[in-house]
Amino acid sequence: MKRQGGFTLLEMVVTATVLLILASAVVPLARNGLKRQQELELRRSLREMRMAIDDYKKQAEQQKIKAPPVDANFYPENLEIMVEGVPATGSTTRRVRFLRRIPRDPFTGKAEWGLRSTSDDANSTSWGGGHVYDVYSLSQGTGMNGVPYREW
């Protein structure tokens, strides 16, 4: 009588259990990795826009571009003007652009941001009108560090 090769039921159950344990450990890691990547993209987008606003203000103060009124503290009227460009001082054709495009918020999926003006409170979540001093995410979520995205 010849013995046939194969797996026993016990071997199959043990193998399936080990695979299930490994899979249950990988899924949370992948989910956290995706969220971490989105948070990194949010930080980059916020930094890019804030640096562009600061650069706009600096060039307006130095009179390198057509400056907004003094009561605006040299800040841009909106984010779109930084994409379209501002006429350079002394030139009728040259425009200075500060952003290629308005970045997309990775959590809302839209290129829409909360805006603050110089007349708004530093932690304000409502646009009081005026010129753009700061930007923040409109996402309702909270970061892995426990801080809501609106406060980044």
SS3 115: strand
48-76: pLDDT as tens digits: 999 999 999 999 999 899 877 667 788 99
For residue 112, give the amino acid letter. Answer: E
SS3 116: strand
**Domain spans of the chain, in order of start:** 14-151
The Cα–Cα gap between 33 and 39 comes to 10
Average pLDDT for the chain: 88
What does the DSSP assignment read for 21-86? HHHHHHHHHHHHHHHHHHHHHHHHHHHHHHHHHHHHHHHHHTTSB-PPPGGGTT--S-SHHHHH-E
The pLDDT assigned to 1 comes to 63
pTM of the model: 0.76
34-49: pLDDT as tens digits: 899 999 999 999 999 9
The answer to whether 39 touches 144, Cβ cutoff 8 Å, is: yes
The Cα–Cα gap between 150 and 79 comes to 18
Give yes or no for residue 124 having a pLDDT over 70: yes
Determine the number of helices (DSSP H) and then strands (DSSP E) in the chain.
Answer: 2, 4
